[in-house]
Amino acid sequence: MQYKEILVATSNNYKKEQFEYLFQDYDLKIKTLSDLPFKEKPKENKGTARENALLKARFWAEKVDIPVLADDAGLEIDALGGEPGVKARRWGGLFKDNVTDKEWLDYFLERMKNVPSKERTAKFKAAWAVVFPDGKEITKDIILPFYVLEKPRNGYTEGSPISAVRFNLKYQKAEMDLSKEEQWEVQKKEMENWKDFKEII
């Protein structure tokens, strides 16, 4: 391995924990935005998760001399015609950046209250982007399908209110009842099979 550190472009503790798990087979020290002195952030104004992930990775790659990984995801609820889309937290502009988990979840449940059980399907369209110090860029797209419960179960992960009603079809469990290995199984396999990343890192 030619690199010893990587910046994961997030201040979210849940995402930090996730990528620590995904990178456990690599001899990499993970840094996050909380370790940096910079306060500015890029404007995530692109139309796809991949474009926004690349935008963020490029922004931070200009400020550090280690590889930068950024991720983004669009949330698509089939019964809502694909809403909220790539700006899931802000719900396409309906909410401001400081919307609370409770406000977001309450709105979501209200929108879903009359949706029949067989139509409560959804997916995350996620993307990872890595920009290296020499300017090389690689990306990976990931689709994570799930089912939406009618009522929250066992709380939710701070910063991820959808986890209150996200149901894993493979394990037939609510997200909050899954182990970390079960929660991140798909992402772990994607990381293990990411040939482009392995060849460069």
| Stronger pLDDT, 87 or 142, i.e. the higher one | 142
User: Is the CB of residue 42 less than 8 Å from the CB of residue 62?
Assistant: no
151: phi then psi, degrees, rounded to nearest 5: -135, 145
User: Is the CB of residue 129 less than 8 Å from the CB of residue 7?
Assistant: no
Every domain of the chain and the residues it spans: 5-200
Q: Please report, for residues 51, 121, 127, the alpha-carbon distance to residue 48 in angstroms, rounded to integers and kept in the order given.
A: 5, 20, 9
Which burial class, exposed, middle or buried, applies to 50 when counting CB atoms under 10 A from its CB (0-12, 13-18, 19+)? buried
Nearest to 124 by CA among 166, 185, 68, 66: 166
Residue with tokens 């997030």: 10
User: Average of pLDDT values for 137-162?
Assistant: 93
User: pLDDT at position 176, please?
Assistant: 93
| Stronger pLDDT, 1 or 70, i.e. the higher one | 70
User: Is the CB of residue 73 less than 8 Å from the CB of residue 88?
Assistant: yes
Beta bridge partners of 5: 29
106-115, pLDDT tens digit by residue? 999 999 999 9
User: pLDDT at position 41, please?
Assistant: 87
Query: Residue 80: CB partners within 8 Å, gap ≥ 6?
Result: 111, 112
89-132, pLDDT tens digit by residue? 889 889 988 899 999 999 999 999 999 999 999 999 999 999 99
pLDDT band at 137 (very low <50, low <70, confident <90, very high): very high
Q: Angle at Cα 83 formed by Cα 80 and Cα 89, nearest 5°? A: 135
User: Is the CB of residue 74 less than 8 Å from the CB of residue 124?
Assistant: yes
156-167, pLDDT tens digit by residue? 988 889 999 999
Please say if 72 is a catalytic residue: yes
User: pLDDT at position 13, please?
Assistant: 85
Residue with tokens 């089912």: 147
11-61, pLDDT tens digit by residue? 988 889 999 999 998 989 999 999 999 888 898 888 999 999 999 999 999
Res. 142: pLDDT tops 80: yes
Active-site hit among 25, 72, 97, 106:
72
Q: Angle at Cα 69 formed by Cα 125 and Cα 62, nearest 5°? A: 125
Task: Count other Cβ atoms within 10 Å, centred on residue 32.
Answer: 17
Length of the chain, please? Answer: 201
Domain 5-200 = CATH 3.90.950.10: yes
